[in-house]
Structure formats: structure tokens, C-alpha cells
């Protein structure tokens, strides 16, 4: 619940919209590269935040970007949902079942990520390759309005920089405390 509150406050700053526009600009219309960036961001965020929350924050951003590109967002939404599930399994706090498993087995954050991390990394790469294969036609679609998106100033989406900084400090602090928790017991 605490992580969801932190993320809800973080979302108010506009950082997720900023990430979507920034990734779209960096990809320069290459849909495979954009899928890689969005999925990687989603998986990493899901390691520390509940999967459902991550997807709920990323899907509107994805839909907005692909509405601009006039390309179906469905392959990207499915890929992000898969990336969110895979990323969430890497850490003790990524999924509610992980918390229950860790508590029942007396496993701390570091031990959990040490044992799950390599498997999740392989699973993530495999899922990305599967997405590339399954959506190969969709990834070759011609994007439209790229020039419009390239001119857009993504910093305008950062509504409250002060809130962003405070939220990031709190989020990083919480993650750091999860990491050192095992050694404090």
C-alpha cells in the first residue's frame, strides 16, 4: 500500500508521460526499439512497484503515443503487461505473492533478488524475443506524425518538478531500506 501511495504521488508529477515521449523521441520511429525501451522501463519499475499499478500508469501513455503515430498500441500494451509480470517476479516487493513467499520462507530482499534475478533476466529477454516474433508485422508499421512528436517538448509533461524530486528521494530511500533490511535484523 505504501509503495502504491508513493507511485500515485510520483505519477502526479508527470514522469510517466515524460518517459513515454522521451522514449518515442529516442526511438526515432523504430517500433522495435520503442518496444524495448517501454518494456524495459515497465519491467524495472515493476521490480519495485506492484505490476497492476505499473501497467495502469504506462498504458495511457502508450495509447497516447501510438495514437499520435497512428499505429495500433495493442502489441505494445501486451508486451508491457508481460514485461510487468516478468519484472515483478524479480524482487520481494514486485508482486504480493512474492511478499507472502518471502515472509513464509524468511527470505530477505537481497536473497530473493539474488536467486530470482538471473532467471528473470533470461525470462525477460526470451519474452522480448517472443514479442518481436509474434508482432513482427506490427513492428514494421510506418509511423506517422513523427516530426510532430520530435518537436514536442517532453519537459512540459513534468507538471511538478519539486514533487518529482521529493517522490524520487522517498522511493529511492524506501528501496535502499529494503536492500539493507536483511542486515539490520
Cα torsion for 70, 154, 50, 35, to the nearest 10°? 40
Q: What is the pLDDT of residues 140-154, one digit of tens each?
A: 999 999 898 889 899
Eight-class DSSP state of 138: G
Own/partner pairs, 109-115, CB within 8 angstroms, 24+ separation:
109/178, 109/179, 109/181, 109/182, 110/179, 110/182, 111/182
> What pLDDT, on the 0 to 100 scale, is given for residue 141?
92
Tell me how far apart the alpha carbons of residues 30 and 142 are, in angstroms, rounded to a whole number: 9
Q: Over the chain, what is the mean pLDDT?
A: 92
**pTM, whole model, 2 decimals?**
0.88
41-67 pLDDT tens trace: 999 999 988 888 889 889 999 998 999
pLDDT tier, 72 (very low <50, low <70, confident <90, very high otherwise): very high
Given a cut of 90, is residue 7 above it in pLDDT? Answer: no
Q: What is the pLDDT of residue 167?
A: 92
Residue 119 pLDDT > 80: yes
Please determine, for residue 1, whether its predicted confidence score (pLDDT) is greater than 80.
Answer: no
Is the model's pLDDT at 185 over the cut of 70?
no
Percent of the chain whose predicted confidence (pLDDT) is above 70: 99
Please state at what angle helix 74-88 crosses helix 31-48, rounded to 10 degrees: 30
Length in residues, the chain: 185
In this predicted structure, the answer to whether residue 110 has a pLDDT above a threshold of 70 is: yes
Distance of CA 27 to the CA centre of its chain: 17
Amino acid at each position: 500500500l505504501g509503495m502504491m501511495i508513493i507511485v500515485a504521488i510520483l505519477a502526479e508529477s508527470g514522469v510517466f508521460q515524460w518517459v513515454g515521449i522521451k522514449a518515442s523521441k529516442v526511438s526515432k520511429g523504430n517500433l522495435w526499439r520503442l518496444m524495448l525501451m517501454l518494456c524495459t522501463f515497465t519491467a524495472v519499475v515493476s521490480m519495485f512497484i506492484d505490476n497492476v499499478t505499473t501497467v495502469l500508469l504506462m498504458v495511457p501513455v502508450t495509447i497516447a503515443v501510438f495514437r499520435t503515430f497512428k499505429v495500433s498500441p495493442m502489441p505494445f500494451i501486451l508486451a508491457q503487461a508481460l514485461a510487468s509480470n516478468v519484472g515483478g517476479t524479480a524482487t520481494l516487493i514486485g508482486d504480493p505473492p512474492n511478499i507472502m513467499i518471502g515472509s513464509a520462507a524468511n527470505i530477505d530482499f537481497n536473497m530473493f533478488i539474488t536467486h530470482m534475478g538471473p532467471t528473470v533476466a533470461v525470462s525477460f529477454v526470451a519474452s522480448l524475443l517472443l514479442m518481436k516474433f509474434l508482432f513482427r508485422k506490427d513492428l514494421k508499421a510506418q509511423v506517422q506524425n513523427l516530426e510532430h512528436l520530435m518537436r514536442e517538448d517532453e519537459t512540459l509533461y513534468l507538471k511538478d518538478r519539486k514533487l518529482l524530486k521529493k517522490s524520487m528521494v522517498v522511493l529511492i530511500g524506501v528501496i535502499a531500506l529494503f536492500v539493507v533490511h536483511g542486515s539490520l535484523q
